Structure 1
Amino acid sequence: MSSSSSVRRKCKTICNKLSLLRPIQIVNRAFRSDRVLDALAKASEEKTANIVLYNYPSFSGAFSALFAHLFHHHLRLPCLILPFSSVVPLRVEDLCFDGLQKCYFLDFLGPRGFAAELSRRTSCKVIGFEHRKSALSTASSNDNTMFHVDIEKSSSTAVYEFFLNELSQVQSVDGEAISLIKDGDRSRIEAMLKYIEDVDLRRWTSPDTKSFRIGIGEYRNMLNCITNPHMFDQLLEMNCMDFVAKGNSHDNNRHDAARKLLNKVFKIRLGRGTYGECLATRADGNSELSDEMCKELSIRSAAAGLRPIGAVIYMKRNNNLKMCLRSTDSCADTSEVAKAYGGGGSRRSSSFIIRMDEYNHWTTIGYHPISMEESL
C-alpha cells in the first residue's frame, strides 16, 4: 500500500472523529414554548379579542395567517397569530382568558373536542377552515363554532375569499373600499394560491405543479411567525414562477446525475421471463437517485424493443436486494411484478425485496452488459 493512501486514510479517520464533536442541530418543534406562552400571557393582560392559530408547517396555513394578519392590520384590530403544531400542541387552558372574542383555526380544526372546549370555557367564537377529507367527520358546527370544510378548495383559498368578503363590507374613513392586498401584489399572490391548491388537493392540473412543490419545499422552515418575524413580508414577495424554475433546475440536476450513473446497463428477465424483459442497472450507494434512473431506463427500454420498464437494484443493509420498477408508459403495470414477489406500489411505480438467489435467475440466462451507446 502506498504511503499517500495511508495518509489519506488517517486524515479521513481524524475527520470522522472531529465530526462527532460538532453540536447536533435539533429543529425546535416545541411550539408551546416560553416565547409562545409569553405572547399569550401578554394577550391575556391586554385582553386581546382575536387569536389566529395556523397549521404548521403548511404553506396553506401560512398564507391563511397572512390574510388574517392583513385583515386585522387594515382594520386596526388587536390580534395574536401563532403557529399550531400537532407535535407539541397548545392546550385549551393556554387560550382561556378574559376578553377573547374570536379564535381562528386556519388549515386545521384542532384535536378532537379542542374547539368545543375552548368555546365553552371562554364563550368565544371559533371559526375554522380545512380542506382535508379526514375533517369531515369532526366538523360539527354550533352557535359558537363555525367550521368551513371544503374538499374542493384549499384552505388558503377559502380563507382568502372569507377575509375579502369580510373586508368588502367595511369602508375606509374616506368612503373608499379597503383592499386586502395591494393591486400590484394581487395577481402574483392569487397565482401562488392556485399552485398551493393544486398541491393540497393533489390535482396536478398544471404541468409545473410538481416543480413548484419541489422548489418551494425548502422554505417550510420559515413558516413560524414566532421565530421568523419577517414571515408575512416574505410571503407577500413570493413568486410562483421562481419556485417552478427552482424545481425544474433541481429536477434537471438529478436527472443529469442519474444519467451519469447509467454506465453499466443490462437486460433482466422480469419474474424469470414471466413478465417480459427490460433494462436494469445496479445503484449500490446511489439509491437516492433510483427514481430518476428507473425512468430514464424505462425510456431506453422501450426504445430497445423491450417492455417500457426501468429497473434499479441495490443492496439493503440486511444483504437483501431491493428492486425498484418505474414506467413512463401508462400501459405498463409495474405493480404486477412487485406484488408477485411480496412488494407493492402503483402501475407506474413499485418496489420489492428480492433474494440474491432469485435475482440470479433473472440475470444469468441471456445476461450481457449493455453499453451506454447501445441503450440510448
Structure 2
Amino acid sequence: MLLSQAKLHNNNNNSISNAINMSMKNKGNNNNNNNHCSPAILYLYPCLDGVFAALAAHLYFKATSLLSPLFFPNTVYNPLSAEDLPLNEIGDLYLLDFVGPDGFVQEISTKVPRVIVLDHHKSALEMLGNEASLGENVVKVIDMERSGATIAFDYFKDKILSPDVAVKHPSVHEEFERVRQLFLYTEDGDLWRWRFPNSKAFGSGLKDLNIEFDARKNPSLFDQLLSLDLDNIISKGKLSLSDKQKLIDEYLRKSYEIALGNAEFGHCLAVNVDTVFSELRSELGHQLATKSQKMNLRYVFPPRNYSLYP
C-alpha cells in the first residue's frame, strides 16, 4: 500500500520497477569497481522539469549514499561530452530529462559502470529505442506520457522503498511526500496540459524567484527547492501573471502578417521582441498561434504531451 501511495502516476509503473530491478542487478555486478566512485547526475538546464528531476535524485542520495553525488547541468545548445566529465570519479551516471546528443549514451556507457536514463522526450525515444545499440549496463525509462520530473520522482521514491537499499535517513520519505505537489505542477506546465487551475500562476511565481538552477553555481539549490511553499508561489504568481499578460497583450497588438516561403506556405503572424521579453517567448508564441488561427492564417501549436526544451 505504501508503494502505491508514493507514486505520482499509477500507469506504466512496470517500466519503473523493471528499471530499478535491472539497475540493482547491474550494481551487484559492478560493486568492486563502483564502491569509491560518486554517482553523477546530468540534468537538463535551465529547465524547471530538469531541476526537479535532479531534486528527486538529491533526495534519494541524501537518504542512502555515503558519497555525495556530482551534479552537472546539461544544456541542449552546448551539451556535455565525455571529455567534460571526471570519469575516474564517477560510478553510476544518471541522465535526467535530456540524453545528450546522438551517440552520447552509447559512448559514455563504455566509460562508466552504469548509465540510467530517465526521460520523456521524443528525441530520446528515437535515439535509444533500439535496444541492440545499447550496452547491457544502460537502464532506461522513457515515457512520453509523463515529464522528466515525475519519472524521476517515481523512480527514486520507489528505489528508496526497495528492500535492497539501505536507507540511512528515513525522514527523506516525508520530504518526498511534502514536495510531491510541486512535481505534479511542474509536469502539468512542462507538458502544456494545464489541468490544474493554477499551473500557470505556479510557473510564473516560481520563475519570479530567480533561483539559479545550476547546482554547481548555487550550492543551496536543493534547500531552496525544498523550502518552497506551493500556496505562496501560486499567490505571488497570480499577481505577476496578470502583469505579464498585459505585456503579452501589448506585443500581440503589434503583431503583423508575414509570408512563409514567399507565400508558398501561406501567411502567419509575427512580432518583434527584445531579450528582456525572452522569458515569456513560449507563452507569447502560443497566444500568437491562437490569434493566427482565429484569422485563418498558418499556426503551429505544440502537440499533446510535447515538452519544449528551454
User: Is TM > 0.5 for Structure 1 vs Structure 2?
Assistant: yes
Q: Is the 8 A contact 2:159 2:165 kept in 1?
A: no
Give the 3 Å change call, closer, same or farther, for CA 290–113 of structure 1 in structure 2. same
Counterpart residue number, 1:206: 196
AA partner of residue 102 (structure 1): D
Give the 3 Å change call, closer, same or farther, for CA 119–205 of structure 1 in structure 2. same
Counterpart residue number, 1:60: 49
Counterpart residue number, 2:92: 102
Residue 85 of structure 2 corresponds to residue 127 of structure 1: no
Give the 3 Å change call, closer, same or farther, for CA 149–219 of structure 1 in structure 2. farther
Deviation at 1:208, TM superposition (A): 0.9
Aligned-pair identity in percent equals 27
Deviation at 1:233, TM superposition (A): 0.3
The equivalent position to 2:293 in structure 1, one of 325, 332, 335, is: 335
Give structure 2 stretches of 5+ with no counterpart. 1-34, 258-268, 272-283, 285-289, 302-310
The equivalent position to 1:290 in structure 2, one of 250, 262, 283, is: 250
Counterpart residue number, 2:58: 69
Deviation at 1:290, TM superposition (A): 2.4
Give the 3 Å change call, closer, same or farther, for CA 83–313 of structure 1 in structure 2. closer
Give the 3 Å change call, closer, same or farther, for CA 99–216 of structure 1 in structure 2. closer
Residue 141 of structure 2 corresponds to residue 148 of structure 1: yes
Q: Is the 8 A contact 1:170 1:178 kept in 2?
A: no
Q: Greater Rg, structure 1 or structure 2?
A: 1
Q: Is the 8 A contact 1:55 1:84 kept in 2?
A: yes
Deviation at 1:115, TM superposition (A): 1.2
Counterpart residue number, 2:26: none
Q: Is the 8 A contact 2:87 2:112 kept in 1?
A: no
Report the secondary structure of 2:295's partner residue: helix
Give the 3 Å change call, closer, same or farther, for CA 116–228 of structure 1 in structure 2. same
- Distance (Å, rounded) in 2 between the aligned partners of 1:110 and 1:125: 16
Question: Superposed, which structure 2 residues align to 1:76-91 within 5 Å?
Answer: 76-78=65-67, 79-91=69-81
Counterpart residue number, 1:181: 172
AA partner of residue 137 (structure 2): N
1:60-114 superposed Cα distances (whole Å, 9 cap, x missing partner): 2112212222222322332211211233332212336346331000111111111
Deviation at 1:247, TM superposition (A): 1.9
1:274-331 superposed Cα distances (whole Å, 9 cap, x missing partner): xxxxxxxxxxxxx75426xx7xxxxxxxxxxxxxxxxx35799xxxxx899x9xxxxx
Give the 3 Å change call, closer, same or farther, for CA 204–188 of structure 1 in structure 2. same
Deviation at 1:178, TM superposition (A): 5.5
User: Cα RMSD (Å) of the superposition?
Assistant: 3.4
Give the 3 Å change call, closer, same or farther, for CA 94–209 of structure 1 in structure 2. same
The equivalent position to 1:345 in structure 2, one of 296, 299, 308, is: 299
Q: Is the 8 A contact 1:167 1:178 kept in 2?
A: no
> Structure 1 stretches (4+) deviating beyond 6 angstroms?
none
Deviation at 1:336, TM superposition (A): 5.4
Question: Superposed, which structure 2 residues align to 1:1-376 within 5 Å?
Answer: 48-78=37-67, 79-95=69-85, 97-98=87-88, 100-120=90-110, 122-140=111-129, 141=131, 142=134, 143-170=136-163, 179=170, 181-183=172-174, 185-219=175-209, 221-253=211-243, 288-290=248-250, 312=253, 335=293, 337=295, 339=297, 344-345=298-299
Give the 3 Å change call, closer, same or farther, for CA 49–345 of structure 1 in structure 2. same
Q: Is the 8 A contact 1:213 1:247 kept in 2?
A: yes
TM-score by length of 1: 0.54
Give structure 1 stretches of 5+ with no counterpart. 1-45, 259-286, 295-311, 317-321, 327-331, 348-376
AA partner of residue 114 (structure 1): F
- Distance (Å, rounded) in 1 between the aligned partners of 2:47 and 2:70: 19
TM-score by length of 2: 0.65
Give the 3 Å change call, closer, same or farther, for CA 203–180 of structure 1 in structure 2. farther
Greater helix share, structure number: 2
Report the secondary structure of 2:109's partner residue: helix
Q: Is the 8 A contact 1:171 1:178 kept in 2?
A: no
Deviation at 1:334, TM superposition (A): 5.8
